[in-house]
Structure formats: C-alpha cells, structure tokens
Amino acid sequence: MANIAKSAQSKNVIRNGGQILAEAIRLNGVDCVFGLHGGHLDSFLYGIVDEGMRFIDVRHEAAAVHAADGYSRSSGRLGVSVVTSGPGVTNAITGAAVANVDSIPQLIVGGAPPIRDEGKFVLQGGVDQVALMKPVTKQALRVSDIRRIPEYVDLAIRTATRGRPGPVYLEVPIDVLFDRIQESKVPKFPAVATLQGSRPSNSLIHKVINSLQHAQRPVIICGNGVFFDDAQNCLREFAERFRVPVFGNSRALGILPHSHELYGGLVSGLNALDDKPDWILLLGGRASQMTLGTRGSSFVSEDADLFQVDVNPEEIGRNFPITDSFVGSIKAFLEEALEVGGQNQPSVSSDWLKSTRAQNFAHDVFEEEALSHTGDLHPYWFGREITDAAPKDSIFVADGSETYHWVEPIAKLDKPGHWLGHGYFGCLGIGHPYAIGAKIANPDKTVIQVVGDGSTGFNIQEFDTMVRHDIPVITFINTNQSWGISAHGQDALTNRRVGTDLPITRYEDVMKSFGGHGEIVRHRDEIAPALQRSIDSGLPSVINVLTDPAIESPRVRKMMKGIRENAGLDDADAQTEKPIAIPYYDPIER
C-alpha cells in the first residue's frame, strides 16, 4: 500500500514551467547554461541549478550568447544561453547572427512578458521578439502552453543539431515559465537522437576517385562541418591513402596536426602557389570569399574538378560551378570513398606536396624583418612568442582584425576546435566570451586569448565573469594604440585617420581590479615568462603587450597594397577612371 501511495503522490507532483524547461534541456546532455539574470527567468534559473547544471552569469547578454558559441565551437556540443525579455533579447541578436552564419548549434532561450498582456506595451514588451530573431536564426519559436515545453525543447534541439547546425531561439513567456501543473500531465520526450544519414552512391564515389586518379595538383579544403560531423579521423585516413594535401578555413584550423606532412594550413595559402589546383574536394565549408575567394580572383581555375560535400543543400554550387556533390554526412562520404577507392594512390608529384606544405610556414619570412626592427616591439613577436611558449594542446581564441593575423598563421594546432576566431560574420568583441565558453567546455586545457586593444573594450566587463566563476583564461592584448586594420586602411586610402586611434590603456590593471592577475610587457623576452606566471597564478590573467603601431600584418600589408594601387578618396584619384578601391573587398569597376 505504501508503494502505491508513493507512486500516486509522484504522479501528483506539481512543477512550474521553469523546472520543466530545465529538466528537458538537461536530459539532452547539457551541463552548463550561460546567461544574465532577469526576473522573467527566475523559475528557469532555479531549475538550472536544481537539475545539476552550471549557470555562468555574465555581464551582458551578447556575451552570454557568444560564450555558448565558444563552448560549442571548442567542444562540438550544443551551446545553451538564456536572456531576459526586451533589451535582453535585442542584445542577443548579434550573437545569434554570428552563430547562424557560421553554422554553430545553439539553443537561445528568451524571456517575454505574459501572453495575456500582448499588445498592452507592458514592461519590456511591445516588440515581436520572435520576428526579430527569425532572420538571424535557423528557427525562432514561442511556447504558449506549459504542457508543450518539452515538445518545443525537443523541436528546438533537433533543429539546432540536425542537418546544417545553427542557433534556434526559443521564447518562453513569464506566465508559461511560472505556471504550475501536475507533472503527469506533461508529455515526456527522450533526448534527441543522432540520425543515420544516407550514403553516397557508388557511381558518385567512383566519379570522385577516378577524377582524383588523374589529378596532378589535388587539394582538400575543410570547413567546420568536418569537426561537427566528427569526420576528422576519416579525413586523415583519406588524405594519407590518396596523398592529398589538406587546407582549412579559419573554422577548421588543426583539422590535421600542424606537423603532418600533408597539412597546408590556412586555405588562403593556395593563392600564393605558382600553379592552381586541378582537383578540389570541399568538405563542410561555405564556398565564400573567406574560403575559396571570389570568382575571377580565386585559386579555383575554370578547368579544375570541384567536388562538394555538405549537409546543407543550399551550399551546393554557391558562387562556383561544381563537378558533382553529395548532400549529407561528410563522415559517411569519406568512409564510402575509403572502401570503394581501395589502396590505389594518384600520381601526385612530390613538388606539389612540397609547395603546398610550404604554405604552412609562409609567415616565417617575417622573422627576418622582425629581427632587424629597431623600434617598439614588432608584433610578429607577439604571435611568435605566445605560440612558441603555449602549453601543448592549448586552445586559442582570437579577436581583433590586425591582431588576429599576427597569430593565426603560426599557431601550432593539432586538433580542430582549438582555434576560435571571427568566422564569416567578422564580429569583434567575441574574444572574452568565446574564451569563457571554451574554458568551461575544456577545463583541463589552457585557454589563451589574443585580442587587439580595440576589441578588448567590447566586453571588458567579462573579466569580472572570469574572476567570479574561477575561469582562468589567459588574455594577451596587442596594444598597438589603434583599431589596427581600420587605421592602416585609412592610411592607405587618404593618409588621414578618423576614429581609429586609441591611447595606451592599462588593461592589466582592469583585470587586477576585478581580482585577477595582470602584467604589462614591452619586450620580446618578457612574453614567455609572463605567460608562465599567469599559468602559475591560477587566476584569469591579462598580459598587456605594447607593440609598434606602425607595423602592418602580412595579410593587411597585401590588402593595403591593393588599395594604394587603385583610386582612393583623395581629390587627385577621384578624377581618374581607375577602379575604386574599397577596404576588404574587390575594387569597384567602372
């Protein structure tokens, strides 16, 4: 009789919407939620803690979404954030857009005023938040009944993680979160399962392999789809068997170990080769300006065989005509190719392998310039000393356009998910929250953030979050007293600067004021010891490195050369018929 009574009592347990929401999320393997408090969310916040998940409260809603993004990029798992109604949701829009453009799986929970008050312009109301989120997410949903919370969580996570990954916005109004109901009246949903996808046809695989057998200059180009499909081991086996060099865009750095003989590093290095590839396999990367370049100025020649594999059919054939494609799992495609292709190897020349491998070290040519430099610290040493001194298997987070370019080409990465940068959207300010998310996802690894003095200011308040939650991120700030790439762009256009100069700021003191560790560095030989002291402190740390503001990074130098050679904004150039130079993009042809 006692067991019967206990069972009946369990069925009659009353739970609120926040508790039901937290349980549904936790059942999907989520161990951490990033957010910022708002009264609309209280029942859910209590539920997060009661379900045994960690709640990392940040100081700005944009940082919450970015932190969940960094968690996902570095782990391959779903990131979850929660923001309150009104300005909380609008502050989250940029983070959602970044994740959407880069295809990062996220669940963004948003609060909202009571449904009963819709149209009354109550506190933090008056805006259609779902409509705001639709253009920058994979899907935007709203729960209107407490009974349907698990159903909507299931739908949101399925959408975020299946097919092309991406962020999903799930709005749960305050009256739904605080409503109460008997637990037995709420349908239960199991954790979202991984689907078994289709396999490529034998005819497609034979076509790809046969084409590869005749190629003289083949390459594989990867995006982060390889990482999120857990296909990196298959990729390595395929590359080794068929002797094909592998390149990655910035979302796929480390897809092969830095020391691997077939790893060419950044895909941009292909532009420096004397000969263009004649066979290209694009895996899980968008055929955009930042991966393949733009037609007419790309390393993709008109007569190259271009094969594309992506889970998103919308990506197939974007910007470039392709030879053939497979829509589905990259891992399944590579597994099938390994099985059908046998042990045959194409006759790839050793010269081609040598030239592609050399691109991984192209940045080293700046060492000679840096050695002969007599002014303030050459920023080459900022990147070189940090990457040389970093503990093995460190995760790097990069933020700031000019700073990014001093570190990315020479970071020695052995695994994907160990380089977190701007991505397609080019959003500054992601560094501090990305680093927070990466450290939470990888507590046993050293997380090193390299950030420009301009980008530091976007989310500088998150130094407090690092200290409060004991998240020992090590931040190196490249203080070149400017918005570097913008300042150098203005120099190239007109030799006039407007809004691009910055003063020397003692950012290390800002970290120390929050309770962390901070140092200032002016010389090359001070960088590695400062890094070790930061590690030994066990605290979130800032190492403020003062560098020469006049030095342009290699990539920026190349870009500025193109601007200087074309018509700028000054009066003399304005009278010419030359192409019109614009920062970042191809010139305007007239």
469 is catalytic: no
Task: Name the residue with higher pLDDT: 484 or 305.
Answer: 305
Q: DSSP labels for 303-350? A: TSEEEEEES-GGGTTSSS--SEEEES-HHHHHHHHHHHHTT------H
Which one of 17, 38, 86, 124 is the catalytic residue? Answer: 124
Half-sphere exposure of 244 (CA within 13 A, CB side): 29
Dist. CA 271–CA 158, nearest whole Å: 39
Dist. CA 553–CA 383, nearest whole Å: 11
Q: Which of 112, 87, 93 is nearest to 171 (CA)?
A: 112
pLDDT of 346 reads: 62
pLDDT of 8 reads: 47
Dihedral sign from CA coordinates of 272, 276, 279, 285? positive
Q: What digits encode the pLDDT tens for the residues 90-127? A: 999 999 999 999 999 999 999 998 888 777 777 667 88
Cα 277 to Cα 250, 285, 453: the distances in Å are 20, 17, 38
Residue 328 counted as domain residue: yes
Compute the C-alpha angle 146/151/154, nearest 5°: 135
pLDDT of 212 reads: 92
Residue 368 counted as domain residue: no
**What's the CA dihedral at 403, 407, 408, 411 to 10 degrees?**
-160
Residues 542 and 406 occupy one common structural domain: yes
Q: Are 438 and 447 in contact (CB under 8 A)?
A: yes
Q: Which CATH number is 349's domain given?
A: 3.40.50.1220
Place of tokens 């560790």: 517
Q: Which of the listed residues 185, 215, 242 is the one where a domain comes to its end?
A: 185
Residues 235 and 349 occupy one common structural domain: yes
Edge-to-edge strand order for the sheet containing 32-35?
Answer: 54-57, 32-35, 79-83, 106-110, 167-171, 139-142
**Which domain range does residue 242 map to?**
202-361
Phi, psi of 413 (to 5 degrees): -110, 140
Average pLDDT of the chain, as a whole number: 88
Q: Give the contacts of 395 (CB within 8 A, at least 6 positions apart).
A: 74, 417, 418, 419, 420, 438, 439, 442, 445, 446, 447, 448
Which one of 76, 125, 197, 426 is the catalytic residue? Answer: 426
Q: How confident is the model at residue 303 (pLDDT cuts 50, 70, 90)?
A: confident
Q: How confident is the model at residue 5 (pLDDT cuts 50, 70, 90)?
A: very low
Cα 234 to Cα 227, 309, 399: the distances in Å are 11, 14, 31
Which one of 40, 432, 488, 517 is the catalytic residue? Answer: 40
Q: Which of the listed residues 295, 329, 361 is the one where a domain comes to its end?
A: 361
Predicted confidence (pLDDT) at residue 575 exceeds the cutoff of 60? no
Predicted confidence (pLDDT) at residue 568 exceeds the cutoff of 70? no
Secondary structure letter of residue 429 according to DSSP: T
Residues 154 and 206 occupy one common structural domain: no
Dist. CA 476–CA 545, nearest whole Å: 7
Q: Are 400 and 452 in contact (CB under 8 A)?
A: yes
pLDDT of 317 reads: 85
Q: Provide the token pair at 501.
A: 């100069």
Predicted confidence (pLDDT) at residue 192 exceeds the cutoff of 70? yes
Cα distance between the two ends of the chain: 89
Q: How many CB atoms lie within 10 A of CB 131?
A: 9
Residues 402 and 345 occupy one common structural domain: no
Residue 366 counted as domain residue: no
Residue 563 counted as domain residue: no
Residues 47 and 83 occupy one common structural domain: yes
Mean local confidence (pLDDT), 195-203: 85
Residues 231 and 302 occupy one common structural domain: yes
Secondary structure letter of residue 501 according to DSSP: B
How many domains are contained in the chain?
A: 3
pLDDT over 70 for what percent of the chain?
91
Residues 543 and 394 occupy one common structural domain: yes
Residues 168 and 248 occupy one common structural domain: no
Residues 355 and 463 occupy one common structural domain: no
Q: Where are the alpha helices (DSSP H) in 497-570?
A: 507-514, 527-537, 554-564
pTM recorded for the entire structure: 0.91
577 is catalytic: no
Q: How many CB atoms lie within 10 A of CB 7?
A: 10
Residues 357 and 377 occupy one common structural domain: no
Which one of 23, 51, 61, 462 is the catalytic residue? Answer: 61
Residue 267 counted as domain residue: yes
Residues 138 and 59 occupy one common structural domain: yes
Q: Which of the listed residues 125, 157, 185 is the one where a domain comes to its end?
A: 185
Q: What amino acid is encoded at 47 in this protein?
A: G
124 is catalytic: yes
Q: How far is CA 450 from the centre of its chain?
A: 14
Q: Are 167 and 160 in contact (CB under 8 A)?
A: yes
Residue 144 counted as domain residue: yes
314 is catalytic: no
Dist. CA 284–CA 165, nearest whole Å: 11
Cα 214 to Cα 46, 181, 501, 575, 587: the distances in Å are 62, 66, 54, 51, 37
Q: Give the contacts of 164 (CB within 8 A, at least 6 positions apart).
A: 103, 138, 310, 311, 312, 314, 315
Q: How confident is the model at residue 251 (pLDDT cuts 50, 70, 90)?
A: confident
Q: How many CB atoms lie within 10 A of CB 233?
A: 10
Q: Are 218 and 245 in contact (CB under 8 A)?
A: yes
Q: What digits encode the pLDDT tens for the residues 136-171? A: 999 999 999 999 999 999 999 999 999 899 999 999
Dist. CA 331–CA 70, nearest whole Å: 23
Beta bridge partners of 81: 34, 108
pLDDT of 86 reads: 94
Q: Which CATH number is 160's domain given?
A: 3.40.50.970
Beta strands in 137-289 (DSSP E): 139-142, 167-171, 180-182, 218-222, 246-248, 263-266, 279-283
Mean local confidence (pLDDT), 363-375: 83
Q: What digits encode the pLDDT tens for the residues 336-352? A: 999 887 666 666 778 88
Residue 260 counted as domain residue: yes
Find the length of the chain: 590
Dist. CA 556–CA 365, nearest whole Å: 15
Residue 489 counted as domain residue: yes
Predicted confidence (pLDDT) at residue 1 exceeds the cutoff of 90? no
Q: How confident is the model at residue 4 (pLDDT cuts 50, 70, 90)?
A: very low
Q: What amino acid is encoded at 433 in this protein?
A: P
Residues 181 and 52 occupy one common structural domain: yes
Secondary structure letter of residue 426 according to DSSP: T
